[in-house]
Structure 1
């Protein structure tokens, strides 16, 4: 039976199985202040007579005592509902355990719905927060979770995702964005809250981002942009439409670049939303300018400094000199050295004659302010000599003239050997899948490769009589491509009854009994399975016969294969991605991403080249049609028969081997993060494998 006992007559007990101090007593005190103690405590009689020890309900007791200590209630008269139990220590501990163990707290989803329902009738968030002893941010967070996209909230309610994962989805109010990311990870058992939050963040921009600072919140909102507050982290506000922000920033920087270029008489000024010129100078030539000459007085002072420093060095060589005297000489020497460096650290001089031939970059600092770079570049090589303002020129990209076109990435850098191998195999698979539809062509190809014995048959790109080709090593966990699935489906559809016999003669006779169409299909599969990805392991060229077959079959590689972050964009440098964006959308499109991290650019490229990004029709068409030259057949031109001559082949192989032996021991950029800046000079990072220029 429940009865009322004054708060002052209660005390904590060692028999309570909860030994950890209760948390969030303030919230309990707020609840008691608003509604009183709604659930009775379990107590047992104690000494002195008339007092009771608390077996279960410690948090409620401490909440009431907090109000008593604050003078809000009188402990001597405030009645606490209790249920008195009796028994020995073991019995009382069992009662305490049962009461605590059987209590099931509300789930996060239930809390969300409850707060949402409560606020519909009492829209004062602050009042609700005070009543339940929570912060306004906590209540807002639960309301945000209550408004999650329906499939995500259902997953939270059913326990299929954790509260932290739900909070990650709730870092944005955009339900469409929530659902896109949720579908992306719906079938993954390895996803965590950090991955979800990164996926959400990739589609947003920090309000402190230099691009956002440049644009300004008012201009962004006026243009239709939306600002979101992440209630579950301390990263601050985020802009939900980074593309809009980049577009606005690009317009601002383009206008300023035009103004500065006209003011200074430069040939061009390119705006980029970053302080780094990495990747932006790949197609340019750096102009090395001479510093301004010293005047007569300055030259004389320079000579005097050198003479005095030589004297000081001689004096300081005296080992018997006192420390104070030595320190004075050393201080003078350092002062003179700094003065000398200041004299000779002079800005370069750009002559009026050169001004109209060169350009530079308008960059964006971390503080959102635009700065005109003082390093100049030309779009074509300039000839100059010391003294005329063009003492030398440095190319910003490695010379790839010895490589075939398909071995060079957008922007002029060579593809890594590993990536080129993988693309070559996938390109071959597309040809193999396509040749299945033309058994007659497969027959012609096979007969040619088998009968033309005057040259090495391997040069024709097939192993008709030798089984499977020796492909470059591919990742074991790489998912099957569309072409590979088509080949497997074709194999399963063939009549394979003739293969069941253990006797090769019986299998041969059974095969002979097949009709012509069945034989032709087996022939097409055999030829398709024989195609080589590359003429030889070190070669970077596409086999010209493969190119001819592809033209006859009218293969559109873009319909079979699309670039993704996993199979291409994450595997090349940031500079290559920017060059690629320039190719399909022009410098304005690339400039929007120069200040972004490589991972963010890769994610944006994956959407753009899959046709999922909102962009101009011309850009979308170009992106959907684009595949790297390493995946194309049409970049290969007809080759003379002499190229297949045995002597030429042997000579080429020896040259390639020598190149491999003498090459630098460098890392493959596909194995690491290529997001580091190359520096203001735009020099190429030698971390890429230079593909061997075989043949």
Structure 2
């Protein structure tokens, strides 16, 4: 039954009328105040394709006008279509006429009391349209959106039904679902989903990394070496992550076969030059060249333009390196690092061009060799004129040949302040884990801090902040902040949290008191860990914080290892040579540093990163492997745990 108040003064129910667009205006009572340009474009496309699917709601205005109280987006789209000539001037649309006294409430009801389509329903519906024969471009045009957005929604529709069901049940976020869409293999998607913990499912980057670990990124050096077109012409396929910028090659076996074929051809060409030995590898193995001296070629007669370009690129790379050290803006740092990588590749190419003009003595070449490998930029790099130790005497006897034994590099310069801050943050990640997993030490550190503050009004200068304000290391790089979060998350997941769900604060306290002593200590340890402040060990007098970290027995190297991004590309080449000299040790370390003094910084960094990432394979002797596994930049390691000193007994008072 209709509400009597809806009947107008003439006793008629409000109804639907056809009203010309020119007579319609947006009502000041319309609850929707903002209409985005994108939303208007979508509505225009829908009206052109499907017509007006829902009438407008209006009230009578003055001078024959009608005020739209519901349908502001539709009205704006209609007027735009009319202005663009898609609709005639006298075009009329169906409108429901309502009474003004209820206008605002009904406008609000239309905009609020409605349920938007679930995203899963939307991308499944788009996929259905494609199945019915429409293209992505056609669907995009008909709904006023971009073809890429249509393709993204279609990709989501192809995710395993079990994962879409989990998304509908809010057991999986949209970001996580997009990460699973990086592959169409449903079995693999489900297998990975079932293997991950809840906290891992909240990290789309980790999901994507696991699903693509068998694929090869288009930016990989092997892809650059072979060439994407060569790979595709050979029948290889690639896949683009529509929710990121990455492109993945789906046939790594084919890529490796193409790499091997190209390396074999290059090896034959080098052998044809007349060298006594030739070795070609995919990766740069420093052990091949570490004990070698080098022949001196006859003066290079390279074109002046090549030498000028070499000087220009070297100067630009030096300037870029200085800018990297000075900037703290993450976007600018990404741009500079990308340019630095580009310069590495250009310099590699140029070095190979210039090397082609060098000439070696044919007789000396028979006792020497060359070593070739694929650099980190994908360039085929050749080191010619290498003389192994066993051939040095024979070469010296055959001719008085000067072997280029480089002098050891000078001591490296200090690290930039931005790197020091990040290293302090990486060390903090290990410190937080150390304290959070040692409740007894956390308890002692906290009580010590509180007691010293209360009894002396001058607490320790570092360690926990007793106010329990969480330390976020705001002035460090994004990688360092992400590292901190990843380190402490497992400890946070194991904490008892049920007491927090009790109603009032009093209820929460009563529930908290029911926890075991161990649970309370674990909470305390975590809270103390989250207040720790980043610092490097500067070699000053140890503080209570230093001693507490030492007593945990935690090795910072178990939590953080050097990579190009977090350390190696952010220090000078001299510093990298010093790192290699220290890792190899002794005379061999000096020889390695001398032989690499003329190498490019990027290549040295790549070689060291390879050793740090897999010490057992690339670390050398057992002693060297141990050094690689435990090496840390100065100031990052925790000090050795000291033995407690017995308190001195007070002297008794003399008798009167």
With structure 1 as the length reference, what TM-score do the two structures score?
0.47
> RCO (CA 8 Å, sep 6+): is it higher in 1 or 2?
1
- Structure with more of its chain in helix, by fraction: 2
The alignment's TM-score, normalised by the length of structure 2, stands at 0.49
